[in-house]
């Protein structure tokens, strides 16, 4: 398929099947950053609810920067992967205190923010500033594999996709067909491919199967953060908390994960009790 025919196919589908989300209706880089962090490891339908709640509580980067970590983690409950909330807060603090509240508007500037990698920086540049930066995520990857690598055997590396992404990416920020809308169109088509053809991401070298949550240290840390968010605990009272929630865990496992959470900046110990930092 030629790049031109590919673009025509994607745009046609998008015009007829465009999805609507609150984060697509804003150009606020902070709001877009929030949505990108939430969407990284959480289903879209869940994010729709939590995003609306979050933006009511923390409508600006300053409101998040100066909020307590306890309030932030309370608001994040239900999304999982609490490190994302911590990274988002640290990024907001950097913007508020180091950049005087002015959101970085360059790719390199965004990369300087805590917890922001190349994908997130590129996504903010595209969605907030309509700049033609290459962006690869699960749905976009699916589309390019479907159209351009149908006959290839073996795993496909993102470096094979990048030239095609750059070649088909609109360079000008024209109304309705610039980088922003193009990536939204690709993502929507990717959802269509997954639903009707299957998960082609399994053919990517970058595909990873999510590790089991039940019985993992991630489950233990998630439980500890959830418990301590609402009241301080000792290692002994945390054992009782897990028993009430029918989760089998030893005191040794609790202590091990308390140490990790303290090092990561989630919690502090005062006397014998652990609190949110």
Tens of pLDDT, residue by residue over 149-177, are 887 777 888 899 999 999 999 887 766 78
- Domain end among 114, 129, 144: 129
Higher per-residue confidence, 206 vs 234: 234
pLDDT of residue 154: 74
Whole domain around residue 243: which residue ranges? 217-276
Domain boundary among 129, 162, 194: 129
pLDDT at 141: 92
Q: Which of 211, 255, 257 is nearest to 235 (CA)?
A: 255
Report the SS3 class of residue 270.
strand
d(CA 196, CA 194): 6
| Domain assignment of residue 5, yes or no | no
Distances (CA, A) of 22 to 77, 80, 125: 20, 21, 18
Indicate whether 118 belongs to any domain: yes
pLDDT for the residue numbered 200: 85
Give the span between the Cα atoms of 230 and 112, in whole angstroms: 32
- On whether the CB atoms of residues 35 and 47 are closer than 8 A, the answer is yes
Q: What is the CATH number of the domain that holds 257?
A: 1.10.10.10
Closest CA to 168 of 182, 158, 184, 154: 182
Pair 92, 34: CB distance under 8 Å: no
Whose CA is closest to 261, among 221, 231, 228, 223? 221
Active site amino acids: 36
Domain contains 270: yes
Domain final residue, candidates 93, 114, 129? 129
The CATH number of whichever domain residue 30 belongs to comes to 1.10.340.30
| Predicted pLDDT at 175 | 63
Higher pLDDT, 176 or 31: 31
The verdict on residue 102 lying in a domain is yes
Q: Is the pLDDT of residue 266 over 70?
A: yes
Nearest Cα to 260, choosing from 210, 217, 213, 230?
A: 217
- Identify the pLDDT of residue 127: 96
- Report the distance separating Cα 255 and Cα 176, nearest Å: 53
Least Cα distance to 117 among 130, 129, 135 occurs for 135
pTM over 0.75: yes
Cβ burial of 275 (10 Å; 0-12, 13-18, 19+) is middle
> For the chain, how many structural domains are there in total?
2
pLDDT in tens, 66-117: 999 999 999 999 998 999 999 999 999 999 999 999 999 999 999 999 999 9
Interatomic CA distance for residues 230 and 4, integer angstroms: 55
Does any domain span residue 268? yes
Using alpha carbons, list the distances in angstroms from residue 182 to 14, 116, 206.
Answer: 9, 22, 23
């Amino acid at each position: 398929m030629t790049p031109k025919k590919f673009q025509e196919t994607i745009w046609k589908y998008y015009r007829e099947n465009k999805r609507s989300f609150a984060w697509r209706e804003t150009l606020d880089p902070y709001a877009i950053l929030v949505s990108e962090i939430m969407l990284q490891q959480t289903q879209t339908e869940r994010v729709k609810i939590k995003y609306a709640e979050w933006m009511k509580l923390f409508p600006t980067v300053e409101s998040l920067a100066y909020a307590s970590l306890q309030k932030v983690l309370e608001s994040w409950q239900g999304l999982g992967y609490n490190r994302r909330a911590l990274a988002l807060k640290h990024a907001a603090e950097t913007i508020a205190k180091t950049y005087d509240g002015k959101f970085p508007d360059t790719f390199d500037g965004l990369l300087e923010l805590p917890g922001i990698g190349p994908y997130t920086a590129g996504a903010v540049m595209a969605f907030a500033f309509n700049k033609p930066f290459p962006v690869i995520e699960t749905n976009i990857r699916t589309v390019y594999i479907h159209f351009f690598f149908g006959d290839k055997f073996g795993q496909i590396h993102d470096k094979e996709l990048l030239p095609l992404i750059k070649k088909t990416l609109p360079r000008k920020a024209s109304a309705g067909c610039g980088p922003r809308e193009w990536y939204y169109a690709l993502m929507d088509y990717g959802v269509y491919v997954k639903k009707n053809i299957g998960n082609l991401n399994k053919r990517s070298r970058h595909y990873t199967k999510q590790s089991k949550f039940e019985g993992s240290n991630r489950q233990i840390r998630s439980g500890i953060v959830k418990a301590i968010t609402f009241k301080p605990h000792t290692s002994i009272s945390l054992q009782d908390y897990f028993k009430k929630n029918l989760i089998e865990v030893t005191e040794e496992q609790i202590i091990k994960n308390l140490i990790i959470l303290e090092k990561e900046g989630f919690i502090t110990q005062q006397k014998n009790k652990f609190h949110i930092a």
